[in-house]
Structure 1
Amino acid sequence: MLSETEAAELLSFLSPETRPDVKGQTTEYILGMSGNRDGCRFLRSKADLLHAVFALTSDPSIAIVKDCYHILINLSADETLHQVISPDSSADCRLNLHLALTVQHYRSSLIQVLVADVKVLPVLLKKLLDPEYVFADQICSILSNLTRHTKTCKTVLKVLQEEAGLSQLVTIFCTEGYNKKANFHYLGPLLSNLTQLPEARDYMMDKDRCVIQRLLPFTQYQASVVRRGGVVGTLRNCCFDHARHEWLLSDAVDILPFLLLPLAGPEELTEEENEGLPVDLQYLPEDKKREDDPDIRKMLLETLLLLTATGGGRNALKDKSVYPIMREFHRWEKDVHVTAACEKLVQVLIGDEPEQGMENLMEVDIPEDVEVKLKEADVKEQEELEKEQEEMRQEEEKKKSDAPGTDKGQDDGLTR
């Protein structure tokens, strides 16, 4: 990495008065640094450099502004924090836990520099609201990255409520053409991240506002998988509040068709099964296609499963003939992880009701030893699913390799 002298020289090139070509080369260099962990670690320790980079997001040069935003996107994202701690051995666990905590400290302190020291949030939010701003999509990406973890998510929500309000964010997201230079797709993941927090969910499901209802049509928004996934993630988070399940399933929201339609296919159901379904799912056309993205399909199933946590929710899904949709979906689905999620839902739909006093599955106290066994079972199930998926992949590759080759002479139109 750079020495203190070199860092100071680099900083001098980021002055607004510096020649545009020199500034451009400097921001390109810093952009390269921000693409790896060592570079991010170095930049984290140089708040003055980050201040200068952020100041240049108002530079007259579009190229320089673009570089600066991409630097901020890289700095606000750190996939290493999402590493799973392996349960292989106690020694490995301790080592992995230490590494995870080190990474988390590293990332949180970097985010702290961006949020607390550089104070990016008020400026970013103000620019986001500008319907003429060219780099609104980059701001959405930065905010989405900053809200992926609870601590910084709380900070972003607090500043958001002070500067604009969650309602304004939803309005922008739902207003086509709000900014002709931006698509705002990454507001979807941002909303999903914000609804990690109870206060954000409270707003989204305020019965005196019409907020969550405005998001429902985007579960089938074909133009962007990012937007679809963000909305489905938001709905899933909202469904963790079991006290609102009855309202979500009522005519006031009618969430069920919007969760089921992406999972429904063109299969022909019996007249009795069709009549039991919500109107929007009855007699679907032969060209009806399911959601393409397996992660979104899995989130939709998880959302439906959350709605079965209460007796009222289970009855609602059974009364609306969800099972036939899941039956056909299970026959169609090839992804083992999605299939497993589907099977969990089906087990609830066709299984017996819990005994008295345990109707609300979210409020059942699970003994510690049972919880440990359940977690171990989940790990084992995950390993088996991954093994099955690998076997399927190898089988597909073998079929391809065993397929008869094409006669090149014939392809070329040659005769022997």
Structure 2
Amino acid sequence: AEQAAALAELTGLLSPAAAPAARAGAAEAALALSGSAAGRQLLAGSTEALSALLQLAAGPCPVSARAALGCLVNLSSEPAAREPLLAKLPALLGLLPSGEACGVLANLCREREAARRVLRGLQEAGNGLAPLLQPLGQPRPPPQLGPLLCNLSQLPEGRRELLDHSRCSVQRLLPFTQYRDSVVHRRGIVGALRNCCFEHEEHDWLLGEEVDVLPFLLLPLAGPEELPEDEMEREWAPEWRDGHRGGCCLPTPMAGSSLPELPVDLQYLPPDKQREEEPEIRKMLLETILLLTATKAGRGTVRDRGTYLVLRELHRWEQHPRVLRACEKLIQVLIGDEPGPGLENLLQVTVPEELEQQLQRLDRQEEEEEEEE
């Protein structure tokens, strides 16, 4: 009863009927309350409080609006608040492209159906993803924008928006694979690119001159190692190089195969060149390139751009087991034999359910072993 009375009092102070100073104080109090799980649950269960916070977030007072939006970001992670906030979707979309509004929508879009509703709302507003892509031209885009684009791109219709050839949308994401000002934004952008690469029909376009996605995926994985100028021309002998961790072995290309020239952006990198610092992002970059090797043409293009050289040096440097496994999987695809007839497109291969469950079980087992170590 006391909690209900306190919540009712707070909601009243958040409402437009309250004085501006009282509303500002109430917004700060709500923000502080949303910092705890119990506080979030209390506020998330009040439709009136959520409506008042949304009104305040759209109001003229910057201090009150910022506090209200910060509170809504916290509340949007609560399942109880999801439906009430989605019911106010037009009001939320009206707050774009503020970073906090992106944060609220990113949290709501974690589930596919909610993401579909948000995307539909953007499309019905007439601009689709344009309001989200516009801030990418700013010196410092909102950090929460990356996760929002990533969550929307989990949908085929979201990927189609980003891959629309006439809008150059996906090209606007590419520079952010090396964006240093926000790891949150960078991770989200790489996730969006990875999602886009599930559309195998677009691989030729993504790897072609119009987009040329591969250098943007490889550059964060490249280090300062100086490669001999003639390395791309020499013939490689078959060998197994002993790894530097637990006897792990990295195969090199077969005899008679040559390594073509690296993209210009990856040649003669400075001695202070740093690799992507986040292991999870390195893994996502490798997974994105792996998706691009799903088709025979894609495998050929990725091979012909000297990808193996970058992966070889990454493998020597990498310390994280999951990233190492992702690197080795990609190398095996690049230097292994081509799949047999009917298996040329790896994204269209049907894996028996029993085998898929077995592979998932093995992956979980490996992850548990890593955590124990």
TM-score (norm 2): 0.85
For residues 15-50 of structure 1, give each alpha carbon's deviation from its aligned partner in whole angstroms, at most 9, with x where no partner exists: 323244443443333323323333333323321121
Is the aligned partner of 1:253 residue 2:211? yes
CA distance in 2, matches of 1:286, 1:245: 33
Partner of 2:130: 168
Structure number with the higher helix fraction is 1
CA distance in 1, matches of 2:190, 2:164: 18
Identical-residue share of aligned pairs (%): 48
CA distance in 1, matches of 2:14, 2:272: 56
Partner of residue 342 from structure 2, selected from 357, 382, 397: 357
Q: 1:231 to 1:15 in 2, by over 3 A?
A: closer
> In the TM superposition, what are the counterparts of 1:120-135 in structure 2 within 5 Å?
121-128=89-96
Residue 155 of structure 1: how far off its partner (Å) = 1.0
CA distance in 1, matches of 2:185, 2:205: 24
Gaps of 5+ in 2: 233-259
Partner of residue 266 from structure 1, selected from 207, 218, 224: 224
CA distance in 1, matches of 2:122, 2:149: 12
| Greater C-alpha Rg | 1
Partner of 1:75: 75
For residues 236-295 of structure 1, give each alpha carbon's deviation from its aligned partner in whole angstroms, at most 9, with x where no partner exists: 000011121122111121111110011111212233444521222123232222112222
Give the secondary structure class of the aligned counterpart of 2:82.
helix
Give the conservation status (yes or no) of the 8 Å contact 1:273–1:324. Answer: no
Partner of 2:242: none
Residue 115 of structure 1: how far off its partner (Å) = 1.4
Partner of 1:330: 315
TM-score (norm 1): 0.77
Residue 143 of structure 1: how far off its partner (Å) = 1.8
Give the conservation status (yes or no) of the 8 Å contact 2:115–2:152. Answer: yes
Range moving further from structure 2, 219-228 or 258-267: 219-228
For residues 369-398 of structure 1, give each alpha carbon's deviation from its aligned partner in whole angstroms, at most 9, with x where no partner exists: 2122111111122123333xx4xxxxxxxx
Partner of residue 190 from structure 1, selected from 148, 152, 162: 148
Gaps of 5+ in 1: 79-106, 130-135, 391-416
Residue 171 of structure 1: how far off its partner (Å) = 4.0
Partner of residue 111 from structure 2, selected from 140, 146, 149: 149
Partner of 1:11: 11
> In the TM superposition, what are the counterparts of 1:392-407 in structure 2 within 5 Å?
none
Give the conservation status (yes or no) of the 8 Å contact 1:126–1:163. Answer: no
Residue 75 of structure 1: how far off its partner (Å) = 0.7
Aligned partner letter, 2:40: C
Count, aligned residues? 346
Residue 210 of structure 1: how far off its partner (Å) = 1.4
Partner of 1:314: 299
Give the conservation status (yes or no) of the 8 Å contact 1:173–1:185. Answer: no
Give the conservation status (yes or no) of the 8 Å contact 2:96–2:131. Answer: no
Partner of 2:199: 241
Residue 111 of structure 1: how far off its partner (Å) = 0.7
Partner of residue 81 from structure 2, selected from 78, 86, 110: 110
What is the RMSD of the two structures over their aligned residues, measured on CA atoms? 2.2
Q: 1:217 to 1:5 in 2, by over 3 A?
A: closer
Residue 10 of structure 1: how far off its partner (Å) = 3.1
Residue 323 of structure 1: how far off its partner (Å) = 0.9
Residue 188 of structure 1: how far off its partner (Å) = 1.6
CA distance in 2, matches of 1:359, 1:315: 12
For residues 158-216 of structure 1, give each alpha carbon's deviation from its aligned partner in whole angstroms, at most 9, with x where no partner exists: 11122252352354233225xxxx74232122111111111111121122231112221
Give the conservation status (yes or no) of the 8 Å contact 2:122–2:129. Answer: no
